[in-house]
Structure 1
Amino acid sequence: MNHIVLVHPAIPQNTGNIMRTCVATHSKLHIIKPMGFSLDDKHMKRAGLDYIKDLQMEIYENWEDFISKNQGDFHFFTRYSKLCYTDQSYVSNNDQYLLFGHEHDGIPHDILKDHLDECVRIPMDGNARSLNLSNCVAIGIYEALRQQDYPKLSKVEVQKGEDFIYQE
């Protein structure tokens, strides 16, 4: 199973968008406190729309709480890594945990330093400070899913029918 882990998220709209991505990709969302908002925030709920009811989510008091309850392959997305996220394998018999940090500061350094071999980077222009968090999550999870051949995901349109575009 794939897991998205947000370490100290701060912006409710990002978390709401990430919730939608998790539901669409059958990924479980893990949120590690502290958070910069309440889960009842109207902006987060609006971004998550009606997908939230189908979301698998767990909240943790801190990093130690999270790490004590979860095992698998960890992939820390950080601008400080020298390894491109596409050069990492997301295919194994273990659960895959994609970790993303606070919108302003990223994943805390004291966590990263213990996991340097598991850090990956999304390439971008050297003058760009960062990408939007919800975009990074989407980039990361879809690379993992691509490598896994999109398990349990439809490759055709099912709501309007796979031949909808061909109809007159």
Structure 2
Amino acid sequence: MRIALFEPEIAGNVGAVLRLGACMGAAVDLIEPMGFAWDDRRVRRTAMDYIDHVSITRHAGFAAFRETVGAARLVLFTTKSSESAYAFPFRPDDILIFGKESAGVPAEVSDACDARVRLPMRPEVRSMNLATSAALALGEALRQTGTLPG
């Protein structure tokens, strides 16, 4: 299973997702441009020494990322979906994709995904933190597929 971040803007969120990937055994794809320099110290500070235990692939853009997907499904997490991630049947080779913190993904990226799901939350709030969303999503997907580590 892989986590893909579309044009992430906050170095600390990327670091937290890298640490999540290391702990849970999920590769992380970073779809550029990013809103910070890759060598930003906040990435390494948040990921700590876990960054050496996760497979990271950087892609020049969404088209370059799509070339690496193969037969895997792209499952977009978006507040614009009505399908709950907890009712969606995940597969072990799914790629869980998350949009940029300020704007999500453009329509052409959403349309290129195989499924769109949402994490249920109270209606009076807009969205969760990117790293928190990725953790909830990955945990549920790994639980469903029986591929939780250790």
Mark yes or no: TM-score above 0.5. Answer: yes
CA displacement at 1:97 relative to structure 2: 0.2
Aligned residues: 149
Matches of 1:82 and 1:113, distance apart in 2? 15
**1:85 counterpart SS class:** coil
Task: Show the 5 A alignment for 1:15-54.
Answer: 15-54=14-53
SS at match of 2:86: helix
**2:140 pairs with 1:134:** no
Identity across the alignment (%): 30
Q: Computing the radius of gyration over CA atoms, which structure comes out larger, 1 or 2?
A: 1
The one-letter code sitting in structure 2 at the alignment partner of 1:54 is: H
Deviation at 1:43, TM superposition (A): 1.1
Residues 55-66 of structure 1 mapped to structure 2, 5 A cutoff: 55-66=54-65
Moved >2 Å (runs of 4+): none
Residue 150 of structure 1, CA deviation: 3.1
Distance 1:54 1:25 in 2: 10
CA RMSD of aligned residues (A): 1.2
Aligned residue runs from structure 1 range 105-144, under 5 A: 105-115=103-113, 118-144=115-141
Shift of 1:127: 1.6
CA distance in 1, matches of 2:132, 2:94: 19
Query: Structure 1 residue 13: deviation in Å?
Result: 0.3
**Any idea what SS the aligned residue of 1:86 has?**
coil
CA apart distance, 1:114? 3.8
Task: State how far apart, in whole Å, the 2-side matches of 1:140 and 1:107 are.
Answer: 17
Q: Is 1:4 paired with 2:19?
A: no
Normalized against structure 1, the TM-score is what? 0.85
Give unpaired runs (5+ residues) of structure 1: 155-168
Please show how residues 87-166 of structure 1 align to structure 2 within 5 Å: 87-91=87-91, 95-115=93-113, 118-151=115-148, 153-154=149-150
Q: TM-score, normalised by structure 2?
A: 0.94
CA distance in 1 between counterparts of 2:128 and 2:91 reads 25
Aligned to 2:78: 78
* Residues in 1 aligned to 2:91 and 2:111: alpha-carbon distance in whole angstroms: 24
CA distance in 2, matches of 1:114, 1:48: 30
Cα deviation for residue 79 of structure 1 reads 0.3
CA apart distance, 1:91: 2.6
Task: Point out where structure 2 has 5 or more consecutive residues left out of the alignment.
Answer: none
